[in-house]
Copies of this chain bind each other. A is one copy, B any other.
C-alpha cells in the first residue's frame, strides 16, 4: 500500500445528489452536472458527502453515484469519496468499495451518534483503523454543525503522523482552529476548509483548498477567489469573499441542501428536491434565493 501523494490545492464541490420524480437517484442529471463542472476550474469532486445527502442514501445508491461521477468526470479531476459511517467496520467496507471504483481519496467524517463516548481516543482509533485498512489516502472530516463534535488541532496533528492520513476537511468555519492546525501539521498535510464564508482568511493562513457547498452553484466565483489569492491579488480576493457571504449563508445554515439544490437550478444545473425529512423550499425562500443567485 503506497498511495500516491495527494495534492488537494483548489476548490472542490461536494456534489449534490439529484433525485428523479419517483425518489430514485437521477444518475443522468448527476452526470449532466459533472459534465458542466468539468469545464470549470474546479480541482475535483467530493462524492457522497454530507451535501450529497449521504445519510439518506442506501449503500447500493452510494456505489451507483460513485460510478456515475467517476464515468462523467474529466481525467484530471481528483475524485474524493465520502465514506464515513457510524461503525468503523462499515466505514472500512465502503472505503474499500470507493477505492475499487477508482477514487483517489476517502473523506471520513467523525462518527458522532454516541457523542459522550466519542473521546479523542475513540476518534483516534477509528481514523487509524480506517487508514490502516484503506487502499487510498484518508481525509479526516470534521463538521461540528452536524455532528456536534469538534476535532482538536492536537488530534489532527497526531493523526497526521499516520502515513495514510493525508489531510482533513474542516467545516466549522473556526479560522482560529485552522490556524492552530496549520501550525501543528507537516506542510504536505492537506488542509481543506469546508466553509466558504471564511475561505479567503483561511487561504491567508495557509489552507490548501476548500470543499464548498456553494461551489456546486457558483463554481466560477469560488475558483476566482482561490486564484486571486494564489496570484497575490488580496483586494480582489477580499471583494470576492464579500460577494460570497450572502449566497453561502443562504445555501448552508439558512436553507441547507434544499436551498442549494434550488440555487443549482437557478444556475442551470440539475437540482431537484432533497429527500425527506428535509423539507422542500417555500416560496419566500425561492424568492430570496432567486434574488441572490440570478444576479451574480
Contacts and interface: CB of A to CB of B under 8 A. Distances in A.
Given A88-B276, A183-B242, A275-B88, A175 B146 contact: no
A211 interface: no
Contacts of A286: none
Interface string A216-245: 000000000000000010100010011001
A58 interface: yes
> Chain A: interface secondary structure?
helix
A179 interface: yes
Number of copies: 4
A69 B43 CA distance: 51
A26 interface: no
A169 interface: no
Interface string A104-132: 00000001011111110111011001000
A175 B204 contact: no
A205 interface: yes
A89 B56 CA distance: 9
Q: Which of A23, A122, A253 has the most CB of B within 10 A?
A: A122
Given A114-B257, A145-B115, A58 B180 contact: no
Nearest to A59: B58
Given A204-B200, A204-B201, A90 B277 contact: no
Contact of A55 (B23, B56, B113): B113
Given A173-B176, A197-B176, A204-B204, A275 B241 contact: no
Nearest to A175: B175
Interface in A131-153: 145-146, 148
Interface of A: 23, 50, 55-56, 58, 86-90, 111, 113-119, 121-123, 125-126, 129, 145-146, 148, 173-176, 179-180, 182-183, 195, 197-198, 200-202, 204-206, 232, 234, 238, 241-242, 245, 253, 255-258, 275-279
